[in-house]
Amino acid sequence: MMQMIKLTQLPALLLVVLLSGLGPVACGEGSSGFDYSKPDAIVVAIHTAVKEDKPILVWNGLPSAWRTDINGLIREFGSKVDEKAYDSVMKTARLAVGILADKKTFILNSAMGQMFMQGMQQSLGEQVELVTENYDLIVTMLKTVVESDLGTAEGLKRCDLGLLIGKYGPELMRLNKAVADLDLPGSEMKELREALASAEGMTAKVDSMTGDEATITLIMPGRPDQPTQMKKVGNRWVPAGMAAQMPMMMAMAKSELAGMDMTELNDSLKLAQAMLPMVDKAMEPLEAAKTQEEFDQGVMQMMMMMGTAMQSQE
């Protein structure tokens, strides 16, 4: 993402917003009472999504046909994945996430947990406290995958991103902001911070509107004003460049998915599936632990069991 967010870069910004989990509890068309009738509505939606944690406004700001197409890609993927293998992997993942959620104190106080935190402290210094402070948010992010429709093959076939954004958004947004606040190196972190800051300060004014076409000026603090052509698609206003490109992009995505060879992915899932009974067995003591001592013993048993299994495969 460039230093200045342009409306023609909305797909990238939308990805940041949606995958970052910005979202309210409610979801669905018209649930917020937001006015999408004006050409600058998507700008207001982006600004509000970041500032007030309401990304459903951005999702609902897309033309309904686009939302249908995006959901359709996920559902098509669900129809291609090996159902039994995928569900088995996700079942074990839910068990692991459940342990992370229910045994937080034991995990952080375990020898392995202490070693992990020491390593993080070497990298982050005093900021390591943000890791423990946001532990629950990290678990929520994992729950977004394993406990939602993404957690089963059948769920993938009926997946509605609007529902996921609405249900899991607030916690994930707080995690995203916490990550952005970390003084971590790398261009991705810099771009994330710039994207959030720019979106929060973004405003626009409508210059002209004729039928389904309009011109707006995008305004951000410290940046040159940016005239942008807008196009009405269905009952939603989007950047004209995006309106022209999206049909081709979706056609390419559908074609690629239709021709995708899922053999390698499904073989990997089946390979993992064969090991899951052992993994589930290894996690049973952790799930059942009532004291720190029992949990630590469970960790040792799990490490020994996994080590033995790895040696047997050599």
Query: Would you give per-residue pLDDT tens digits along the chain (314 residues)?
Result: 333 344 444 444 454 444 443 333 333 444 457 899 999 999 999 898 888 888 888 889 999 999 999 999 999 999 999 999 999 999 999 999 999 999 999 998 998 888 877 776 676 666 667 677 778 878 888 888 898 899 999 999 999 988 888 887 777 777 777 777 776 666 677 777 777 888 888 899 999 999 999 999 999 888 899 999 999 999 999 999 999 999 999 999 999 888 888 898 899 999 888 889 989 999 999 999 999 999 999 999 888 887 776 666 55
User: By residue range, what is the domain housing residue 107?
Assistant: 7-298
Backbone region of residue 63 per phi and psi (left: phi > 0; alpha: psi in -120 to 50; beta: other values): beta
In one letter, which amino acid is 244? A
Total domains in the fold of the chain? 1
**70 inside domain:** yes
Q: Which DSSP state fits 290?
A: -
On whether residue 306 sits in a domain, the answer given is no
- In the prediction, which pLDDT does 186 show? 65
Domain annotation covers residue 21: yes
Residue 310 lies inside a defined structural domain of this protein? no
| Whether the Cβ atoms of residue 70 and residue 243 lie closer than 8 Å to each other | no
The answer to the question of residue 307 being in a domain is no
**Assessment of whether the complete model's pTM goes beyond 0.95:** no
Q: What is the C-alpha separation between 62 and 79, in angstroms, rounded?
A: 25
Q: Is residue 44 domain-resident?
A: yes
Which residues sit opposite 227 in a β-bridge?
A: 217
Residue 311 lies in a domain: no
The single residue listed with the structure tokens 């088995």 is 88
Strands (E), 188-271: 203-210, 213-219, 226-233, 236-239
Does residue 65 sit within a domain?
A: yes
Per-residue confidence (pLDDT) for residue 17, from 0 to 100: 47
If residue 5 lies in a helix (H) or strand (E), which one and from where to where? none
